[in-house]
Amino acid sequence: MAGLDRCRRWLWLLGMTVACLLGMPLLAVRAAAIEADGAHSAARPNVLMIAIDDLNDWVGFLGGHPAAKTPNMDRLAARGTAFLNAHCQAPLCNPSRTSLMLGLRPSTTGVYGLAPWFRTVPEWRDRVSLPQHFRKHGYRTLTAGKIYHGRYPPRDERQAEFDVWGPPASVGARPPKKLVTTPHGNHPLVDWGTFPHRDEDKGDWHVASWAVEQLEARPREPFFMCVGFFLPHVPCYATQKWFDLYPADRKLLPPVRLDDRDDTPEFSWYLHWRLPEVRLSWLRREKQWLPLVRAYLACVSFVDSQVGRVLDALERNGLSENTIVVLWSDHGWHLGEKLITGKNSLWERSTRVPLIFAGPGIRAGARCTRPAELLDIYPTLIELCGLTPRDDLEGHSLVPQLRDPSAPRAFPAITTHNQGNHTVRTERWRYIRYADGSEELYDMQADPHEWTNLAGDRRFSKVIAELRRYLPKVDRPPVPGSRHRILVYDPKTGTAVWEGKPIRPDEKIE
């Protein structure tokens, strides 16, 4: 039977290659192949989805930091298509993951904060998620680590979302007390550094081990497996060997201008108003900027090693030839740029994320600069796997770019953080519009650090007018139960309200 399966797979791959050379639509080819195969579902490719939390573009193949060492993500990019201009839908875990899994923008779901779980919203209670769509088409669905945010879904709802559940996301080993005392509540998660512990003690090691075990056991095919890693989310704890990759040298620090916020609207501060994540001013004062940067890079390299363990198991068990691998991060993370740390912004460091597709029917060694969104993963996987298309998804398939990375794409990438705050990213431009009507515009080719806001320059009025057309037409307020990092704005009074408390005009911007 194993030999027969291999034969079918090779015939399927040969047919795909011939069809692509003849210019046949990929969806039609897959549908025909599946119909000809009848009940033999193994002809459909498996899906391995690897999610990484808070990973910005400090990854080797993206070039976001010249010292970043990520050999495993780099080798995945080399055997597939890497999207160099990919962006999240929301710069915060819960709304970003909700958007990706439902195929809807945050401005459509109304989920902007760390709460609620989207199934508590009547409108989305029965919405078919990405893994549910695959399960409806005969896939066995498995998950471990952080795919949905936090403890979502509640335990008694898990079987409705996935067939098999592995270990949850966790920090793993922690020091007896925090390594760094931080302002704004000394939040237990806002910490970084190293202490005596083993890689095997970390939560992400356990998640990777579970994935390896599943692949070694040869799960029933076709399968849809999600593996969600926690790091480099804070606390950024790594063992010493990962810190040793990044010697303490100020050259590791990202380029920053201390006057960078002088030409940004005051409203831009409100998106990350009162947060436990520290500001650059505190890092510099406490001499913690370089330690945090080193810790973040060390955690990136550690989680890359766990990605490598999973990819090795996929290859070792002969599953890579019939498995589509998609790797993504839910949003980026600032490490001093724009004078902040953390996410919750509409600038490049917060929105740009790794996005890789690799596997059957996908061009190897390709690099695409067209704008892409995490929202595009849902329709792309549907088309790659020949599933029933859906007409209620707000993303757009990336299959044309997976065939030809230079293929034109009519859609920019759009990121939203709370109602009324959106950014539009094209190959050249980033345009930001805030809820109070203030704006920013950056020429990303001439000014990749976003140091010069061009929005007030009349020479670019036509550019802004064109980019405004892409702002979401649906822009709903936060759904009931929204909590944590919620910002609302009342245009009648001009009042911004952060987590239920109005921001006074005289409050100091730190």
Active site residues: 93, 149
8 Å CB contact between 83 and 110: no
In whole angstroms, give the CA distance from residue 356 to residue 354. Answer: 7
Q: In degrees rounded to 5, what are phi and psi of residue 164?
A: -125, 130
Could you give the C-alpha distances from 55 to 11, 49, 81, in angstroms and in order? 38, 15, 18
In whole angstroms, give the CA distance from residue 446 to residue 103. Answer: 33
Q: DSSP of 60-81, one letter per residue?
A: GGGTSSTT---HHHHHHHHTEE
8 Å CB contact between 237 and 191: yes
DSSP H helices, 228-372, are 240-243, 267-270, 280-285, 289-316, 348-351
> Can you name the residues that pair with 151 across neighbouring β-strands?
none
In whole angstroms, give the CA distance from residue 266 to residue 286. Answer: 26
In whole angstroms, give the CA distance from residue 495 to residue 57. Answer: 34
Specify the amino acid at residue 489: Y
Q: Is 417 helix (H, G, I), strand (E, B) or coil?
A: coil
8 Å CB contact between 225 and 140: no
Find the farthest-apart pair of alpha carbons in the chain and give their distance in angstroms, rounded.
74
In whole angstroms, give the CA distance from residue 124 to residue 203. Answer: 31
Q: Which two tokens stand for residue 386?
A: 């020949």
Pairing of β 323-329 and β 355-358: antiparallel
Q: Which two tokens stand for residue 366?
A: 């390709």
CA angle centred on 26, ends 23 and 27, rounded to 5°: 140
Please provide the size of the chain in residues.
Answer: 510
In whole angstroms, give the CA distance from residue 506 to residue 411. Answer: 40
In whole angstroms, give the CA distance from residue 258 to residue 283. Answer: 13
Could you give the C-alpha distances from 352 to 16, 33, 156, 265, 315, in angstroms and in order? 32, 36, 35, 21, 29
Task: Count how many Cα atoms sit within 13 Å of the Cα of residue 240 in the half-sphere of its side chain.
Answer: 3
Tokens 């495993």 belong to which residue? 72
Specify the amino acid at residue 481: G
8 Å CB contact between 365 and 357: no
In whole angstroms, give the CA distance from residue 295 to residue 447. Answer: 28
